Amino acid sequence: MRRQRKGRRSHPRKQVVSRGKVSSKQYFEVTAYTAGYESTQKRKGDKGYGITASGTTVSEGRTVACPKSIPFGTKVNIEGVGLRICEDRGSAITNGHLDVYMGSLSQAQKFGRKVLSVEILN
């Protein structure tokens, strides 16, 4: 087993074969965000409000912000959350972290911060 730096968690990876496709399953720190000012520093009416880094409009149940190591369009299956598509980036979204889009601030706050199993599908 590799040694960990103090204060850092190891996020193990496994290769999973499902229906002939190889996917990667690992643990990520998962948080939630909204299109609002508290997450994006943009308000309704501002240029780019609700538009992801890939150019799509944010959509609850579809959009997730991923680190640059995961290409746009990649499907991820997040434990307890479901299937999402990597469509966005964020300055705080680094390797080992995902940010799930939610339609309201109260939902995002209730979701909080969790370490969840994530399967990267393509």
Cβ pair 86, 66 in contact under 8 A: yes
State pTM to two decimals. 0.80
By mean pLDDT, which of 4-13, 25-34, 35-44, 111-120 is the weakest?
4-13
CB burial readout 50-70, b (16+ within 10 A) else e: bbbbeebebeeeebbbbbeeb
Kindly report, residue by residue over 37-95, the tens digit of the pLDDT: 999 999 999 999 999 999 999 999 999 999 999 999 999 999 999 999 999 999 999 99
Q: What domains, with CATH codes, occur in the chain?
A: 35-120 (2.40.40.10)
Nearest to 32 by CA among 117, 113, 89, 115: 113
